[in-house]
Structure 1
Amino acid sequence: MRLKQDGTVAAPETQRHKSMTFVNAVRYAVEQGMLDSDPIANINWRIAKTVKQVDPRVVANPAQVRSLLCAVSYVGSSGGPADGGRSGCSPACTTPGCGQRRRSR
């Protein structure tokens, strides 16, 4: 369960998922009477610890998030009565000039 098909070590979460699936399958077989007892009850599982660190290259920084929220708020909005007269900007947006765009009629 530790190795992938190409022989390299699987990620810790993959190992954890495989072991949980296997244990559940064995327990189900015991419940259904296909096995007399749980053959893996005394096995010691050693799964690598998962690193809970976020890669900063794949996460937007605060300025990018503000800009994205502002841009998304303009998509499909006319500022007219059909969309409730929204100003066109998210309340969370603090980008200079955002929400101050004038509508042309």
Structure 2
Amino acid sequence: MWCPTTRFQEERTMALTAIIHFVGEDAIVGDLAEMPATTQQYIVVRNVRRKDGKMVPYVEPDAKAFIFPLARITFIELMGEVSEIATASNGATPAKGTTIFGFFREDENQS
């Protein structure tokens, strides 16, 4: 039986394509199920690949999902139309148009 609530939940589970930049490593592309919460210490990524579409050499071909700690991530680029499913931590929705979300971590060793 179809229900509006179920349809909304299905739309909310649409994957976000992201480019994930790691500290001292090449960036990879993957699918995030949702925006990471500010309290999370890791992200779960599916369908990982290099930016050129090839397989990431350090992952097993049979693996389906990957957990990456945020401590190893410099920033995350979200591709596509993010404004429809993204909300700020205070519940506000972003403005119409192109929205860029970033997560930047400063290196503690820099002076």
TM-score by length of 1: 0.25
Which has the larger strand fraction?
2
TM-score by length of 2: 0.24
**Larger RCO (CA within 8 A; separation ≥ 6):** 2
